[in-house]
Structure 1
Amino acid sequence: MPETILGDKEFENIPSIKSKALRINLNENIYGTFAEIGAGQETVRNFFRAGGASGTVAKTMSAYDKDFSDAIYGIEEDGRYVTESRLQKMLVHEFDLIEERINRDKHPNRLFFSFANTVATIDFAKKYKGHGWLGIRYQIDPKEPFNEITLHIRFHENDAQLQQVTLGTLGVNLIYGAYYKYDQPNKLLRYLYDHIDKDKIEIDTINFSGPRFADIDNRLISLQLIKNGMTDAVMFDPEGHNILPARILYKKNILALRGSFRPVTKVNIDMFKRSYEMFLNENRVEKDRTEVIFEITLSNLRAEGEIDEEDFMDRARLLCSLGHTVMISNFQEYYKLVEYFSRYTKMRMGLAMGVNNLVDVFDEKYYRHLSGGILEAFGKLFFKDLKVYLYPMKDPETGEYVNSENLKVHPRMKELYKFFKYNGKVVDITDYDPEIMNIFSREVLSLIESGKDGWEKMLPSGVSEIIKEKHLFNYNALPEKVDN
């Protein structure tokens, strides 16, 4: 069915929020409930205003009182209400009620849904702008099991009423997309921002599940969030699940390793192990409150000017197979990475990097967009409780090991470098494995792509087997020789 435009002519080819709600209301089969906690019943309000809602809205509610909410949905173990767990309980409870109360024999074509959100808007002091979870559990075919889309948002507006309006618009876009764009998840994702400026709200986690989304890799959907400018960073766990950054980083000590990991080599893992040991020996760093993040910047995902999604998946699978948490970011400069972590924690941070990376950190060209130049960037980078753990490099021509004592930065940066070096902000990793210093990812990749031997021993245990089995990084197994 072609889309019709009702108003909002400035948004050419984008149906208005009213027309989206009306189209759903006029579909005689779509039928469900709305449960909205924390910012008013802003989503369902659009359906009532559009007209014809009586055939769509089975029930709408807001259980604001915590005791009432607990009585309906159960008590959360952590005592919090704006959580993914709370959203899931709301969706399950309300969907089950529809199936229990509506006679399927009497309504064989009904497409049931439950929409829910649980949010916290901006506080009175306007220091905490708020965040929330919203989602929909729904049927596309009455004979099929339900599908589900859930997402986490962060508000950026400075007024609670404006946040409520934005939330209501996002809710309509989600429901509309769930029913009419489910077969094009990437488009569905972009349409979530119909009539919403991207600086008003951030989507930093989204997950699709159910029979219609069985072939979707949620990690690739996460990549779309960054490509579309909906967030600056996404994270996923070793099992490949998208995870909320706040859940992993909140009040944690953080050790981050940035790299291309194309592929992950023994050098990368040695850098991780040695820096991790040093980080745990720092004051006030406890192992059970420490998170290690393997981070890949968006600029490192590009091939010939575009993001190569399969290449991204290759790297992600290998890092996850080694049991690591992966972060994809849009931060070219390290200080932006540190600022991002600072959203969630005031505890200690560490950055593990190689010599070439540190030399780049002291390159002025990366900071020309800042009014304060490199000094402003370094103020943001090092004013936190942060250390750089520097992994040495073996000079291929001289055989000399380059570390913090003898690395060369631009002459104008020498005194600045000395300041941070001799104030303990840059420390050398000394307990490294000299036998692996000649391993470079780009050379390993070249060997893999050319079908040559010898690259397997340069990678951590088990990684080469995965590359061969999954044919990662353009690996093509040569046919085995057959004896005559």
Structure 2
Amino acid sequence: MPITIMGDKEFESVPSIKSKALRINLNQNIYGTFSEIGAGQETVRNFFRAGGASGTIAKAMSAYDKDFSDAIYGIESDKRYVTEARLKKMLSHEVNLMEERISREKHPNKLFFSYANTVATIDFAKKYKGHGWVGIRYQTVPNEEYNEISLHIRFHENDARLQQMTLGILGVNLIYGAYYKYDNPKKLLRYLYDHLDKDQIEIDTINFSGPRFNKVDNRLMSLQLVKNGMTEAVIFGPDGNNILPARILYKKNILALRGSFRPVTKVNMDIYKKSLNRFLDENKVDKKKTEVIFEITLSNLRAEGEIDEKDFMDRARLLCSLGQTVMISNFQEYYKVVEYFSNYTKERMALAMGVNNLVDIFDEKYYRHLSGGILEAFGKLFFKDLKVYLYPLKDHTTGELTNSDNLKVHPRMKELYKFFKYNGKLQDITDYDPDIMDVFSREVLQMIHEGEPGWENMLPEGIADIIKENNLFGYTAEATKTV
């Protein structure tokens, strides 16, 4: 069992940064190092000023000079310093030194930690606002394996001194939360913004690991970032870990597919495969420099009320099992997705969608908040030679297919629609699979809920087995009807 750290009484109000630092300092067991590069020693400064730091701070350092930093932590293959790899080297190096230099026999109850950050604050031209990696590797039980929390931040303030102060507050919140809120990661996440505003700093990636977090799914923590308004979008890979958006999107060609994926069907995968083939062929782009993103919006997750986290995890698990990269976003309008991707790349972009999604794009109600209305939105959406690949819709009753030629939009939108269609912005997927045109996610979901047979054949290979083995989407073997 973890050692009780000065009791577990909750503060009735949010404790001050000084109070948090002092509480850490006065604990006779918490002991560790601070390594801060790029924005001064702003975190450890709070602990020095709080008092009683001699029993907590083993060492505080800032290896600012690149050569000196390389001599301590090694040389990065990409010659960059503000990276996740650099952060992890810092944490690992300092923990190893502490284990080597401090006798466990003399200090059997010590809870070692290493806090580190590597950041770049705003430049003099104020063109780049800055970003950084922040993390802690620590113990809650002596001699236990280390836990780790690492996160990526983006600064939004326009003054380097303010950014330094913000980083210092965040660092204290992280260390305090790591020791006093590790049993409730969702709450820990919210407490990172104590005495901070979301206009000051953005957290767009976070990962938890170690024995205290062995039941934490980082995809669910990604969802919390967007849900809490800490960032507009998060990305996680097939392995379930969160990925820094800049790392995966930078200078890439991007094809994005938005959907509910509840569950992912053969139609979803047909749209993916056919649109990707067209994207690669038409634009002569390198497949190795192309990223496909399956996007689920927060509004889609809230379609039936409050977000059902299990339902979200069911969708995420299936997409990851198919080897896909998933983005959770707060972008209801498509032009915001394109703007977001444009922050990271100037290469080719395309959106793949069904007929209903395209009809929504031409619905004026989504653009009333813009002074330029739908024209402003379309200017942002198509300014980069963006392509839209349209998958046809089959009418269940008549069997008629709807594509870009017979799609109906509001009369006021007809001319705008024609402009984008006949200028090559909108292209039909013509090599679709006609045998799966009657497959709809909502109907598959209903069949699963009602125990109707036959839904398995509507899903990609292996997906039905995962649903059954893990009882996803409310599946129960007992409810299955026999024919």
TM over 0.5: yes
Cα offset, 1:439, TM superposition:
0.7
Q: Which residue is 1:325 aligned to?
A: 325
Q: Which residue is 1:128 aligned to?
A: 128
Q: Structure 2: how far apart are the matches of 1:481 and 1:473?
A: 17
Q: Which residue is 2:392 aligned to?
A: 392
TM value normalised by structure 1: 0.96
Cα offset, 1:480, TM superposition:
9.6
Q: Once the two structures are superposed, what CA deviation does each residue of 1:261-286 show, in whole Å capped at 9, x if it has no partner?
A: 00111110100011000000123521
CA contact (8 A) 2:8 2:180 kept: no
Q: Once the two structures are superposed, what CA deviation does each residue of 1:25-81 show, in whole Å capped at 9, x if it has no partner?
A: 111111110000011110001011111111111111111111111110011111111
Q: Structure 2: how far apart are the matches of 1:352 and 1:119?
A: 36
CA contact (8 A) 1:3 1:15 kept: no
Stretch deviating more after TM superposition (396-405 or 355-364):
396-405
Q: Which residue is 2:170 aligned to?
A: 170
Cα offset, 1:396, TM superposition:
2.3
- 1:366 is aligned to 2:366: yes
Cα offset, 1:401, TM superposition:
1.3
* Structure 1 residues 326 and 480: alpha-carbon distance in aligned structure 2, compared to 1, 3 A threshold: closer
Cα offset, 1:4, TM superposition:
8.5
* Structure 1 residues 2 and 217: alpha-carbon distance in aligned structure 2, compared to 1, 3 A threshold: closer
Cα offset, 1:303, TM superposition:
5.2
Cα offset, 1:479, TM superposition:
8.0
Cα offset, 1:395, TM superposition:
2.0
- 1:64 is aligned to 2:64: yes
The one-letter code of the counterpart of 1:239 is: D
Runs of 4+ in 1 over 3 A off after TM superposition: 1-5, 479-482
Q: Which residue is 2:17 aligned to?
A: 17
Alignment partner of 2:350: what SS? strand
CA contact (8 A) 1:219 1:240 kept: yes
The one-letter code of the counterpart of 1:366 is: Y
The one-letter code of the counterpart of 2:147 is: N
CA contact (8 A) 2:450 2:480 kept: no
The one-letter code of the counterpart of 1:364 is: E
Q: Structure 2: how far apart are the matches of 1:26 and 1:177?
A: 16
Cα offset, 1:398, TM superposition:
2.6
CA contact (8 A) 1:347 1:385 kept: no
Q: Structure 2: how far apart are the matches of 1:143 and 1:285?
A: 51
- 1:244 is aligned to 2:283: no
- 1:142 is aligned to 2:136: no
Alignment partner of 2:273: what SS? helix
* Structure 1 residues 4 and 452: alpha-carbon distance in aligned structure 2, compared to 1, 3 A threshold: closer
Q: Structure 1: how far apart are the matches of 2:300 and 2:276?
A: 24
The one-letter code of the counterpart of 1:276 is: L
* Structure 1 residues 480 and 198: alpha-carbon distance in aligned structure 2, compared to 1, 3 A threshold: closer
Q: Which residue is 1:352 aligned to?
A: 352
Structural mapping, 1:401-416, within 5 Å: 401-416=401-416
Q: Once the two structures are superposed, what CA deviation does each residue of 1:423-444 show, in whole Å capped at 9, x if it has no partner?
A: 1111111111111111111111
CA contact (8 A) 2:364 2:373 kept: yes
CA contact (8 A) 1:129 1:157 kept: yes
The one-letter code of the counterpart of 2:112 is: F
CA contact (8 A) 2:293 2:324 kept: yes
Q: Which residue is 1:156 aligned to?
A: 156
The one-letter code of the counterpart of 1:447 is: M
The one-letter code of the counterpart of 1:224 is: Q
Alignment partner of 1:294: what SS? strand
Q: Once the two structures are superposed, what CA deviation does each residue of 1:399-434 show, in whole Å capped at 9, x if it has no partner?
A: 221111110000000011111111111111111111
Q: Structure 2: how far apart are the matches of 1:37 and 1:143?
A: 28
Cα offset, 1:372, TM superposition:
1.1
Structural mapping, 1:22-421, within 5 Å: 22-302=22-302, 304-421=304-421
Q: Which residue is 2:4 aligned to?
A: none
The one-letter code of the counterpart of 2:240 is: G
Q: Structure 2: how far apart are the matches of 1:64 and 1:235?
A: 31
The one-letter code of the counterpart of 2:276 is: Y
Q: Structure 2: how far apart are the matches of 1:419 and 1:129?
A: 38
Q: Structure 1: how far apart are the matches of 2:19 and 2:89?
A: 30
The one-letter code of the counterpart of 1:19 is: S
Q: Structure 1: how far apart are the matches of 2:303 and 2:469?
A: 24
* Structure 1 residues 157 and 481: alpha-carbon distance in aligned structure 2, compared to 1, 3 A threshold: closer
Cα offset, 1:397, TM superposition:
2.9
Alignment partner of 2:282: what SS? coil
Q: Which residue is 2:466 aligned to?
A: 466
Alignment partner of 1:23: what SS? helix
Q: Which residue is 2:3 aligned to?
A: none
C-alpha RMSD of the superposition: 1.5
Q: Structure 2: how far apart are the matches of 1:479 and 1:160?
A: 60
Q: Once the two structures are superposed, what CA deviation does each residue of 1:4-26 show, in whole Å capped at 9, x if it has no partner?
A: 87xxxxxx700000110011111
CA contact (8 A) 2:452 2:481 kept: no
The one-letter code of the counterpart of 1:405 is: D
The one-letter code of the counterpart of 1:111 is: L
Extract unaligned runs of 5+ from structure 2: 1-6
CA contact (8 A) 1:393 1:401 kept: yes
CA contact (8 A) 1:4 1:15 kept: no
Q: Structure 1: how far apart are the matches of 2:399 and 2:248?
A: 41
Q: Structure 2: how far apart are the matches of 1:28 and 1:176?
A: 15
The one-letter code of the counterpart of 1:321 is: S
Q: Structure 1: how far apart are the matches of 2:402 and 2:140?
A: 60
Cα offset, 1:304, TM superposition:
3.6
Cα offset, 1:132, TM superposition:
0.4
CA contact (8 A) 1:274 1:429 kept: yes
Extract unaligned runs of 5+ from structure 1: 6-11
Alignment partner of 1:478: what SS? helix
Cα offset, 1:446, TM superposition:
0.5
Q: Which residue is 1:8 aligned to?
A: none
Alignment partner of 1:79: what SS? coil
Cα offset, 1:302, TM superposition:
1.8
The one-letter code of the counterpart of 1:245 is: P
Cα offset, 1:344, TM superposition:
0.5
CA contact (8 A) 1:83 1:118 kept: yes
Alignment partner of 1:117: what SS? strand
Q: Structure 1: how far apart are the matches of 2:243 and 2:215?
A: 19
Q: Structure 2: how far apart are the matches of 1:304 and 1:395?
A: 25
Q: Structure 1: how far apart are the matches of 2:359 and 2:47?
A: 56
Q: Structure 1: how far apart are the matches of 2:352 and 2:28?
A: 58
